[in-house]
Structure 1
Amino acid sequence: MATALLLTNAWKWGSLTGFAAATSSHGCRDPMGDPLLFCDAVRFYLPQGDLLLRSTERLGGFLYPPPFALLMRVVMSAGWRASIYLWAAVVTASTVALLVVPLVGLFRRRRAAALAYGVLLVGGMPILSNFYWGQVSVLITVLVLGALLLHAKGHRTASALLLGGAISIKVYPLVFALPLLFKRDLKALARCAAVTAACMVLLPVGVLGAAATVRFYAGAFAHVETLGRTSGFAYYGPNVVSLLLTGRAAEGSALFRVLQVASLCLVASNALLLRRLVRAGVEHEPYWSAALLFSTLPFLVGTSWLHSYAWLPLVQAFAAVVALENRERPAARTALLLAPVIASAALSSLTFFEWVGEDWYMRKGVIFWSALLLLPTLHRVGWRVKP
């Protein structure tokens, strides 16, 4: 069914240009005025890599740490045309990996869940947006999930490499070290810290020099902070609610401060539940860790874009699995647990996006509400799991 949905959409779009126009009509344009695919990669990632072939400076608009810029330098060393194909291969392979890893693991013996996950993935706006922009959000999701699964199997070094790599690209995956902390696995934490330090400090200092590295970090972090405050399309919880209630995201307002406190309370509640589940060694612990920590990000990361929710199909499918696992639960209660998950899936779908229109979908922060709907089910099931 997932393949059929993908083929149907491909037929409807007709071309990559049609796909770009359907998923982001207000995105960037090529010199001819047509929708431009892989917008962020073409405007920022690859040009930053090209710039580092000649200098040590940060490109204006590039929001990432130096390690990712150095990776782009390697990609650009193949030449402009080849680098586009190479990055397209990375984005595509990441998406395939995000589909396959849960299918051969968590969903292997759950055909209905596997089918639902495939449909959610190929028909979900975060994944389509990630492909449109040529973004790294799917790659980050795969690296984090892989790190959690490898750690659960005792592969500390491989886990540290993946998690350290994710942190070096986006920084916020640092929160996924929490399960290691709750398990008191100091060796795993030390290895992750070593990989992160090597990537984020030793590598850029060795290649760019200390002064250029400091300038790079300062410029990137300042740009991220400004962008998070000024963009109406940053789907950070307080931003979304403030815009909905007042028409603006006024950081200094009393409302915004109250919303930030409420967000931190939700972050704390997710962390407390995660600590309980990790300490208890529950079944599906890596997926519980992924679900609870990914669903924390909209309340923690100010620059949460549509593609940043690339983890949403995974968490939606996992929430459905845990809601259905207890066969002794009355059918009515199971239905109540599934209802918000189904609503979440509907809101994040391409179908709903097309129905309400891009402007309404984006300005109302629909993807944030889709993620928020998963928390009642995750908490209701999680707190009732017997240690």
Structure 2
Amino acid sequence: MAWSKKTWVSLGVGTAVLLAVLLFYRAVWGDVPTLVAALDHCDELFCDFTRQYYPTGQALFETGQPSNGYFYTTAFALLMAVFARFELGTAVLLWGIFQLAALGLLFAAGYDLLERTHPARWLYWPLLLLSMPVMHNLKWGQVSIFVTGCILGTLALYRRGHGKAAMGLLVLGTAVKYYAALFLIYFLIKREWRLLLLFGLFSVLLIGVLPLALLGFDTNWQFYQFMSERIAHARSTWMLTDINSQNLGHLLARLRDPQPISQPLWQGIGYALAGGGLALAWLRLRRSGDACAPLFWTILLLSLPLFVETSWPHYFVYLPFAQVLLLQTVWSDKWPRPAKIVGLMLVAISILLSTMPFFMLWDDWRPFERWGMLFWANAALLLCWYLSQSSIVNRQS
């Protein structure tokens, strides 16, 4: 089937934007190694893949022990065992292809969920390419792009009537990072019992039965035992003070009170804020129906740094989607003029703080992370989201 003129125009504009962004990176950093070194410690491209994922895949059927810093499932380790069958250079190339495919998934899913007739939808592609969290994910060879793509893709497929495929995609994300299962809340509210049962079945097969069948009970048990011990050690030592953590509790403790005793207080505040946002989202979902489903998923994404302790910079790859969605919401809704101005300013602040043109103004990545620029970019969108709720309530009353 021949492509329409609109499709060709979209491809042309998208390609032009891609080339412009690549020229920007070339002009500022010169080459990939320099950009990789500028983003964080470890000057090696795909550092997490080469030092954690790949070694775990190599050792899985020999010692059954995850590498130091590996905090994922045995199901994901089995995937890494497939990559480990190749020489490291070939595996890195294949992982790069996986990263690009994951980025394509994140773009396609988010683009599908945005309002089609709103011109702000065109901003999603350049914001994604200029996103500091996206670049951070690509530098480390991390999985946040894939997991977030699965999360957004789940809603996109569900809204198109592909419930089974949606559950399968969410299971894939959950098999890598457990927090993806948080988005089942939406289906609980919708009382989609059949889909929830299907998710449970897929999860048991992929995360439970498959690793047990291939590795055996003892290896699985030892694997998770090693991993839980390392997680406990990380939570009580270096994770508390790691400047890369953009978690609310860690950031506030880092800026105001570095004593570990303050951690439960800050984490409690984070859970309370996340719970309040979820309650408001639930009320709006019941009132407005599926039309506000993307906004419901957005508050879940924006709430993650409030309670997920390992909120590293690459976790925030959802920011471009949330920024464009809230921009559409602020611009489309008939808000009072002052509220609209504040909402637009909050979205603009979020875009500024989370993109590479702003990151390049810092001489070093450390103060950028220490002061929590990505957390504040996320917080600006949270405030905008709360403003959207109050504006709608005032308008309806």
**TM-score, normalization by structure 1:** 0.90
Q: Counterparts of 1:2 and 1:277 in 2: how far apart (Å)? A: 36
CA shift at 1:200, angstroms?
Answer: 1.8
Is contact 2:330-2:340 (8 Å) kept? yes
Is contact 2:148-2:318 (8 Å) kept? yes
- 1:359 alignment partner in structure 2: 366
**Taking structure 1 as reference, are residues 100 and 149 closer, same or farther at Cα in structure 2, changes over 3 Å only?**
closer
SS at match of 1:57: coil
Segments ≥4 residues shifted beyond 4 Å = 383-387
Is contact 1:152-1:286 (8 Å) kept? no
Is contact 2:113-2:294 (8 Å) kept? no
User: Are residue 198 (structure 1) and residue 214 (structure 2) matched?
Assistant: no
CA shift at 1:102, angstroms?
Answer: 2.9
**Taking structure 1 as reference, are residues 385 and 150 closer, same or farther at Cα in structure 2, changes over 3 Å only?**
farther
Q: Counterparts of 1:6 and 1:285 in 2: how far apart (Å)? A: 35
Find the partner of 1:348 among 354, 379, 386: 354
CA shift at 1:385, angstroms?
Answer: 4.2
Tell me which amino acid in the other structure corresponds to 1:252: I
**Taking structure 1 as reference, are residues 323 and 21 closer, same or farther at Cα in structure 2, changes over 3 Å only?**
same
- 1:22 alignment partner in structure 2: 38
User: Are residue 12 (structure 1) and residue 28 (structure 2) matched?
Assistant: yes
The residue correspondences of 1:228-267 to structure 2 (distance < 5 A) are: 228-229=235-236, 230-231=238-239, 232=242, 233-246=244-257, 248=258, 250-253=259-262, 256-267=263-274
Find the partner of 2:47 among 21, 33, 39: 39
CA shift at 1:91, angstroms?
Answer: 0.8
User: Are residue 81 (structure 1) and residue 81 (structure 2) matched?
Assistant: no
Is 113-122 or 101-110 further displaced after alignment?
101-110
Find the partner of 1:332 among 309, 327, 338: 338
The residue correspondences of 1:163-182 to structure 2 (distance < 5 A) are: 163-182=170-189
Residue by residue over 1:309-348, the C-alpha shift from the partner in whole angstroms, topping out at 9 and shown as x without a partner, is 111111111111111112x334332111111111111111
Which structure has more helix as a fraction of its residues?
2
SS at match of 2:45: coil
- 1:32 alignment partner in structure 2: none
How many correspondences in the alignment? 373
- 2:144 alignment partner in structure 1: 137
CA shift at 1:383, angstroms?
Answer: 4.8
CA shift at 1:42, angstroms?
Answer: 0.8
Q: Counterparts of 2:323 and 2:230 in 1: how far apart (Å)? A: 32
Is 156-165 or 348-357 further displaced after alignment?
348-357
Q: Counterparts of 2:64 and 2:305 in 1: how far apart (Å)? A: 33
- 2:74 alignment partner in structure 1: 66
Q: Counterparts of 2:26 and 2:228 in 1: how far apart (Å)? A: 38
**Taking structure 1 as reference, are residues 307 and 206 closer, same or farther at Cα in structure 2, changes over 3 Å only?**
same
Residue by residue over 1:202-242, the C-alpha shift from the partner in whole angstroms, topping out at 9 and shown as x without a partner, is 11111111121122122223323432442222221111011
**TM-score, normalization by structure 2:** 0.88
Q: Counterparts of 2:17 and 2:298 in 1: how far apart (Å)? A: 22
Is 97-106 or 125-134 further displaced after alignment?
97-106
Is 334-343 or 152-161 further displaced after alignment?
152-161
**Taking structure 1 as reference, are residues 383 and 200 closer, same or farther at Cα in structure 2, changes over 3 Å only?**
farther
User: Are residue 318 (structure 1) and residue 334 (structure 2) matched?
Assistant: no
SS at match of 1:355: coil
Tell me which amino acid in the other structure corresponds to 1:86: L
Q: Counterparts of 2:112 and 2:177 in 1: how far apart (Å)? A: 27
SS at match of 1:59: coil
Tell me which amino acid in the other structure corresponds to 2:372: G
User: Are residue 289 (structure 1) and residue 300 (structure 2) matched?
Assistant: no
Q: Counterparts of 2:225 and 2:339 in 1: how far apart (Å)? A: 51
Tell me which amino acid in the other structure corresponds to 2:38: A
User: Are residue 374 (structure 1) and residue 367 (structure 2) matched?
Assistant: no
Q: Counterparts of 2:377 and 2:121 in 1: how far apart (Å)? A: 20
**Taking structure 1 as reference, are residues 383 and 156 closer, same or farther at Cα in structure 2, changes over 3 Å only?**
farther
Tell me which amino acid in the other structure corresponds to 1:258: L
**Taking structure 1 as reference, are residues 127 and 372 closer, same or farther at Cα in structure 2, changes over 3 Å only?**
same
CA shift at 1:57, angstroms?
Answer: 2.7
CA shift at 1:182, angstroms?
Answer: 0.8
CA shift at 1:82, angstroms?
Answer: 2.0
Is 222-231 or 304-313 further displaced after alignment?
222-231
Is 145-154 or 98-107 further displaced after alignment?
98-107
What is the aligned-residue identity percentage?
Answer: 26
Is contact 1:237-1:368 (8 Å) kept? yes
**Taking structure 1 as reference, are residues 222 and 154 closer, same or farther at Cα in structure 2, changes over 3 Å only?**
farther
Residue by residue over 1:113-143, the C-alpha shift from the partner in whole angstroms, topping out at 9 and shown as x without a partner, is 1333223211121001000000000000000
CA shift at 1:376, angstroms?
Answer: 1.6
The residue correspondences of 1:78-227 to structure 2 (distance < 5 A) are: 78-111=86-119, 113-227=120-234
**Taking structure 1 as reference, are residues 317 and 225 closer, same or farther at Cα in structure 2, changes over 3 Å only?**
farther
Residue by residue over 1:127-186, the C-alpha shift from the partner in whole angstroms, topping out at 9 and shown as x without a partner, is 010000000000000001111222233322111111111111111112111001111111
CA shift at 1:107, angstroms?
Answer: 4.8
Q: Counterparts of 1:225 and 1:125 in 2: how far apart (Å)? A: 29
**Taking structure 1 as reference, are residues 205 and 12 closer, same or farther at Cα in structure 2, changes over 3 Å only?**
same
Tell me which amino acid in the other structure corresponds to 2:260: E
